[in-house]
Structure 1
Amino acid sequence: MANKENHRRFGNIRKRESGRYQIRYPAPDGRMRTGTDTYERKSDAERALSLIEAQIIKGEWNDPERGKVKLRDYAETWIAQRPGLRPRTVDLYRWLLKKHITPHLGNVPIAKISTSAVRQWRADLLDNGVSVSMAAKAYRLLRAVLMTAADDRVIPQNPCRIRGAGDEHAQERPVLTVSQVFELADRVGLRPIGNVRKIKDGTYRLRFQRHGAMRTHPEIFHARAAAERALWKMAMEGKADSTQDRRFRAMVLLATFASLRWGEVSALRRMDVDLKARTVRVRVAFVERSAGGLVLGPPKSKAGRRTVGIPQSIVPVLKEHMNTYVQDEPGALMFPAAKGGPIRRSGFNTRTRWVDVVSEVGLSGLHFHDLRHTGNMLAAESGAGLKDLMARMGHDNVRAAMIYQHAVRGADEAITNAIDRQLGARDDDDDEGTAGALVPAG
């Protein structure tokens, strides 16, 4: 049946006092919705109604009311409802939201965020001194949040469409030689014999032992840290006596040659290390929250639960360490802090003077995680297959393992050298007039 004269089949249009036209239409839930925009011409309003009707028929209509929620509120809910996030990831997301996203876009209704607004937000971050790497992290979080909004039909499409904005160009990390690993392991336990005391005028006096006798350093220091640094440097240079605390030597060697993360190696128990079988079992990992809490949970990925072989060369070091520093109970921590509890990364860095040690051995800027990176490179150099590398590294996707395989070109170089030898043989044959000779395929 034909529509009544001046009556539309879907929705209606009314002219406002301003002379512009506004649309109303029934949504799929039966409620009437008023269009958020107004139109100068009635024909434009009719086209808008027709478009909305087509979207509803195709199931592509987005409720404009849902798009009025502010980005800050939507993102906070998104983080809270995200399943399987590790505690440190939650902390990172909340920090990025608070520091880099909310101040710029937090009060904007989610449906009002356009690609141009996202582009301007990113440009402002970079102009204000935020690094490309940090801006990429913030962009990836915003993109993930708005992708969910698009999937849930809160917005018609994700406005984060800036090519390359989420890419990080991480600095290439150093790879240690085996001798450097052992030198580092020996250095982290070095402790000078001496002391620093504050005198009446607020300055500091340094005393140190040399050839068994205590001596006073001639210099006066205005800060305790400067005096302690001078004492440590004297021990490194052999100008002061020192002792060797070997409790962290085994930690450095095991983290490197078993490719363990900090959280994994710091959570190891006596029962996880089998010296007879030469294996270490990774079951759990410590995670340090940004607020300072220490959480014991599963490893970084499902593949993180694994059993890794221990090289025979470091078994004596581990045996000495377990006999000297680890309690007899199966659940005793392999690498406890001074008071017996779990060791924190900050405590390890302070106790070992990590920054000074790595600088002293010519590895300034080395991170503890670079030990695992070194171990992964050694594993890749063995020629192991992709699945075996993934199992040892604790990765559940092939990307990282393939990076190490590509970085180690030993097999490819062997192939290239073999081809070179054949080319050299051909050159010799050409000299004898055999160029172009046919040989049987097989």
Structure 2
Amino acid sequence: MTKAKASWGSVRKLPSGRYQARYRVDGKMAAAPTTFRTKRDAEAYLSTVRADMERGTWVNPIAGKVTLREYSTKWLEQRPDLRPRTVELYEGELRLHILPVLGDLELAKITPSKVRDWHSGMLKAGKPGPTTVAKCYRLLHAILNTAVADELLVRNPCVIKGAGQEKAPERPIASIPQVFEIADTIEPRFRAMVLVGAFVGLRLGEMLALTRERIDLLHGRIKVVEQYQELKDGTHILGPPKSDAGIRTVAIPAMLKPELEAHLATYAAPGKKGLVFCGANGQPLRRATWYSAWNRTMTELGIEGMKPHDLRHTGNTLAAMTGASTKELMARFGQSTSRAALIYQHATQGRDHEIADALNGLIEAKLKQRPTGTEGATTSG
């Protein structure tokens, strides 16, 4: 070892007979995390550390001693861009599924093997479900990616191929007559919500934030610019839609106009900023109230496995049946990442009206053939 290198690092023999390698970092001497059987092994370690430092790939092993529990708390605090509901979801995934197994491990000790054990353990237990397991894995991957960027880890130990991909089960699609049976059966104040969910395809949060001034019945369109998120404590937070593409103007089928006119006259809060779908006193509608009404209706009609969000899935499928292109569908339903928003934002408003008109014709044709009994849900292919 040259004199310059010797001043940077050194090897000494311990009373145990093993060798310790030490090197200078920020003016202080740091010891290797382990001792070595021979002096040559210790010198080889120092050479590796020196080479990594010169290449810019070295990570201080002391820095990685922070636990995942400590680091994940800091990680969440440093993300003011996250929506409040997203923060709640992340906190729940960490508290329930990630930290009980990995939380007390130092970052540097979270190895690919330990991640595989944690991941396979959840899948074998069957709890949580595979969709939640995928979400937890994505969250852990994101946190440890930041640890790599912070130079606390050399590489991300989350290396399981496909582990973050959700394989959601196929959702049921309601037939058009079935949509109207649900609308006829549910409490009258929720009738328009069923129809707007199925034939306009708004997300629940978008419907809950919809105000009178956003509905243009003269030109047959609804402007979506915000949504309500409801936290666990019941607090409602008004904010922009899920993505940039969520801000959109959607044409509505003509047959919905009288339905919306009747709803606005009877159930909506007064004033141009009054909520369209609201509580009895004009306040934001609780999701639990909507879900309870939905569940009672499903029980009464004998429909199993259909959730409120399946109305939007139904609307997307029905719109696709009109011959709308993928770009037009993504623009109509606000489905995209920021990157996809740039791709789909060129769909024209005129073509959106054509989709709504075609959808209206499809609805009217089916209503003429509407049977007296309840049809079962079909499953998407």
TM over 0.5: yes
What is the aligned partner in structure 2 of residue 396 from structure 1?
336
Asked if 2 retains the 8 angstrom alpha-carbon contact of 1:281 and 1:308, the reply is yes
Q: How many residues align?
A: 341
In structure 1, the residue matched to 2:39 is 42
Higher relative CO (Cα under 8 Å, sequence separation at least 6) belongs to: 2
Q: Which residue of 1 aligns with 2:170?
A: 172
- TM superposition shift of 1:70: 0.5
Q: 1:21 aligns with which of 10, 14, 19?
A: 19
How far the C-alpha of 1:83 sits from its partner, in A, is 4.5
Instruction: Report 1:37-436 matches (<5 A).
Output: 37-130=34-127, 131-189=129-187, 246-350=188-292, 352=293, 354-397=294-337
The ranges of structure 1 where at least 4 consecutive aligned residues each deviate by more than 4 angstroms after the TM superposition are: 398-402
Amino acid aligned to 1:164? G
- The one-letter code matched in structure 1 to 2:218 is K
Identity %: 46
8 Å contact from structure 2 (residues 214, 223) kept in 1: yes
Specify the code of the residue in structure 2 equivalent to 1:40.
R
Task: Answer yes or no: is the 8 Å Cα contact 1:10–1:53 preserved in 2.
Answer: no
Query: Which sits farther off after the overlay, 164-173 or 263-272?
Result: 164-173
What secondary structure is seen at the aligned counterpart in 2 of 1:348? helix
Residues of 2 paired with 1:177 and 1:289: CA distance? 33
Q: Is residue 250–residue 317 contact of structure 1 (8 Å, CA) maintained in 2?
A: yes
2:6 corresponds in structure 1 to: 8
Deviations 1:109-159 (A, max 9, x none): 100111111111223323444122222222221111111112222111111
Q: Structure 1, residues 302-341: CA drift from partner, whole Å, max 9, x if none? A: 1111110011011011111111222441011101112321
| Deviations 1:72-91, CA, capped at 9 Å, x for gaps | 01011112212522222111
**Could you list the per-position Cα deviations for residues 17-58 of structure 1 after superposition, in whole angstroms to 9, with x for gaps in the alignment?**
11111111123x333322111111111111111111011101
Deviation at 1:177, TM superposition (A): 1.4
Q: CA deviation at 1:168?
A: 2.3
TM-score normalised by L of structure 2: 0.84
What CA distance in whole angstroms lies between the structure 2 residues aligned with 1:89 and 1:128? 25
Q: Please state whether the residue corresponding to 1:8 is helix, strand or coil.
A: helix
- Kindly indicate whether the alpha-carbon contact (under 8 Å) linking 2:172 and 2:305 is maintained by their aligned counterparts in 1: no
The structural deviation recorded for 1:290 is 2.4
Q: Structure 2 counterpart of 1:342, which letter?
A: P
Across the aligned residues of Structure 1 and Structure 2, the Cα RMSD in angstroms comes to 2.2
Query: Which structure has the larger Rg over C-alpha atoms?
Result: 1
SS in 1 for 2:172: coil
Unpaired stretches in structure 2, ≥5 consecutive residues? 345-381
* 1:355–1:365 contact (8 Å) kept in structure 2: no
The amino acid across from 2:106 in the alignment is P
Give 1:252 deviation, angstroms. Answer: 1.0
Instruction: For 2:57 and 2:329, locate their aligned partners in 1 and report how far apart those are by CA, in whole Å.
Output: 45
